Amino acid sequence: MKKYFALVLVLTSLTVCSQDQKFVKPDYKAIKKEVADKNSTFFYKKLEEKFNAADSTMTLEEKRHLYYGFTNQDRYSSFYTGAANDSLRSVLNKEVLETEDFKKIITYGSEVLNENPFDIRTLNIMSYAYEKQSNLTEAKNKAIQIGIIVEAIFSTGDGTSKENAFFVINVPHEYDIISVLGFEFGGKQSLIEGTYDYLTLAENPYGLKGFYFDMSPSFNKLAELLKD
């Protein structure tokens, strides 16, 4: 299962990284205003409908407003737990997956995505489950949704410095991006200057030591919870 997960994400990254683009940091204040405006192209409900339909024609700005605009939605959290997550994990921990398990993955995965629609790992394993059920349309749709999320993140930086950090809205996406790019986590995570995470990489042919991630939405959400 782990090998398949890495393969799908690397293939997705090859498509995304092939596009020449300038890195643009998300303007959270401007995004918040746009996604709340019913007359805006970026009104969140419109973007959400496109994402749910796995609309491959979404523009980069739509993808960015969708992903970073989620931080203004009631469902947003800096971390996610719940019965569906536990149930899904119990299935995935099995040595061998059988036909009935793929049905469970889709059921539990759908419940997870109702709370956390940008859970890359769940989208990925659901794509695999649909493929095993010969539902290639849904398998492709989940892969498209992964691409939408990843492209939004890749548009913000290359992760090689604080100035060019990847902007992510929750911690699991840090590890997902490392996998997407074909690297392995090196085992150390450091908090730098309040809102940056630095994750080391295992030895690799490129000599890269680690990636920087801007985690400001997650830290801001946590601060709100602590106030309450």
Burial class (CB in 10 A: 0-12, 13-18, 19+), 23: middle
Query: Rounded mean pLDDT of 43-67?
Result: 98
Q: Band of the pLDDT at 78, cuts 50, 70, 90?
A: confident
The pLDDT tens digits of the residues spanning 112-164 come to: 999 999 999 999 999 999 999 999 999 999 999 999 999 999 999 999 999 99
Query: Rounded mean pLDDT of 10-36?
Result: 76
Q: Band of the pLDDT at 225, cuts 50, 70, 90?
A: low
Which of 112, 113, 139 lies closest to 128, judged by CA? 139
Model confidence at 1: pLDDT above 70: no
Handedness of CA 89, 95, 99, 100 (dihedral sign): negative
Beta strand extents in 104-178 (DSSP E only)? 166-167
Report pLDDT for 193. 83
CA distance 213 to 191: 10
Model confidence at 10: pLDDT above 50: no
CA distance 69 to 42: 9
Q: Band of the pLDDT at 8, cuts 50, 70, 90?
A: low
Which of 22, 18, 17, 12 lies closest to 56, judged by CA? 12
Tokens (6 digits) for 141: 């749709």
Report pLDDT for 4. 47
